[in-house]
Structure 1
Amino acid sequence: MSSYVEGALVEGERIVHAGRISAWALWHLIGLGIILLPAFGIGLVFLIIAYVRYQSTELAVTTKRVIVKHGFIRRQTVEINLSKVESIQVDQGVLGRMLNFGTLIVAGTGTSHAPLAGIADPMAFRKAFIEAQDEGQEGI
């Protein structure tokens, strides 16, 4: 089964960088799952939720846009053309800096902001975005 991002690509578009949600961003679900596992398997529910959230979140920078997909049953997507993005910010706390995860805030033209929380290696995602945006402007 192909991913949402691969299925959303248009002709001539390719993936420049694929990102993931960090397992560290799901620590609260994983921790509760482990602690509550002996309690009649209630912890198993938290572990399944963490797994589904991890597996069903997709992020990508393509040659034309930024694509983000959340959700397994209920799908929520954000797709912003590279030319419509004004800025991309990285927000990392102390723990995020130590464990290399953080929130990306993609600000599009107008008032649209797309916060992407718990992203693994957000600086690499930001760098790939800037490089893709520069390549897109060179082609103009």
Structure 2
Amino acid sequence: MAYPDDLLSSGEHVVTHKHPHWKMLFFPVFWLLVVVVLGSYLAGLVGDLSWATIAWGVLAVVSLALVVGLTVVPLARWRTTHLVITTDRVIYREGVVKRTGLDIPLTRVHSVRFEQSFADRMLGCGTLIIESASDAPIPIDDVPSVEKVHTLLYREMNDNPEDDFQQRTVDGRA
């Protein structure tokens, strides 16, 4: 899903748009399977009881609550988390009910680095750490292809001749 063009400035273009790595979905899928298997087993156990209809109703309500809490909510959180690098800024948005966002102009980014554990390297993800002019380092976890994203961001920071010209003009060197 492309980042909405109406949220970009004029002349700004998306360089890359990422959702968190699929590893964030491992436990939600695991819990979905556990709830389905356990719910089916328990439904089979209460099938011979005289109050089976009530038990199935309670089991269905509890199972639905577990599926929503352990699977649907994390899936929605994953789907609504965006890391977008444009020609002008880094955009990070997350949240379903409470939406939070962070925009860092590329001219304010001082350095960018990444960290990967052994498991992250095996899965092809990692943590992107952005250091801006006045803030503490900002870690963005579970970025897929973090090395490529790091390289893209570094290139956008350093390959924008318009920003270099504007900076030289401000410094009085042009």
Q: Deviations over 1:90-122 (max 9, x none)?
A: 111111100101111111112333211111111
In terms of fraction of residues, the more strand-rich structure is 1
Q: Deviations over 1:46-84 (max 9, x none)?
A: 221221022101111111100010012211111101111
Aligned to 1:94: 118
SS of match in other structure, 1:25 = helix
SS of match in other structure, 1:104 = strand
With normalisation by structure 2, the TM-score equals 0.71
Aligned to 1:33: 32
1 CA distance for matches of 2:152 and 2:124?
Answer: 16
In terms of fraction of residues, the more helix-rich structure is 2
1 CA distance for matches of 2:32 and 2:148?
Answer: 30
> Are residues 7 and 112 of structure 1, via their aligned partners in 2, closer, same or farther at CA, if it must alter by over 3 Å?
farther
2 CA distance for matches of 1:88 and 1:30?
Answer: 33
CA contact (8 A) 1:104 1:119 kept: yes
> Are residues 97 and 10 of structure 1, via their aligned partners in 2, closer, same or farther at CA, if it must alter by over 3 Å?
same
Runs of 4 or more consecutive aligned structure 1 residues displaced over 3 Å after TM superposition: none
Q: How high is the sequence identity, in percent, across the aligned residues? A: 22
SS of match in other structure, 1:29 = helix
Question: 1:41 Cα shift?
Answer: 3.9
Between stretches 112-121 and 33-42, larger displacement belongs to 33-42
Aligned to 1:116: 140
Unaligned runs of 5+ in 1: none
Letter of the aligned partner of 2:142 in structure 1? G
> Are residues 124 and 2 of structure 1, via their aligned partners in 2, closer, same or farther at CA, if it must alter by over 3 Å?
closer
Alignment of 1:71-90 (within 5 A): 71-90=95-114
Question: 1:32 Cα shift?
Answer: 2.6
CA contact (8 A) 1:33 1:42 kept: no
Question: 1:135 Cα shift?
Answer: 2.1
With normalisation by structure 1, the TM-score equals 0.86
- Alignment RMSD: 2.0
2 CA distance for matches of 1:83 and 1:60?
Answer: 16
Please say which structure displays the higher CA radius of gyration: 2
SS of match in other structure, 2:159 = helix
Unaligned runs of 5+ in 2: 40-62, 166-174
Is 1:44 the counterpart of 2:71? The answer is: no
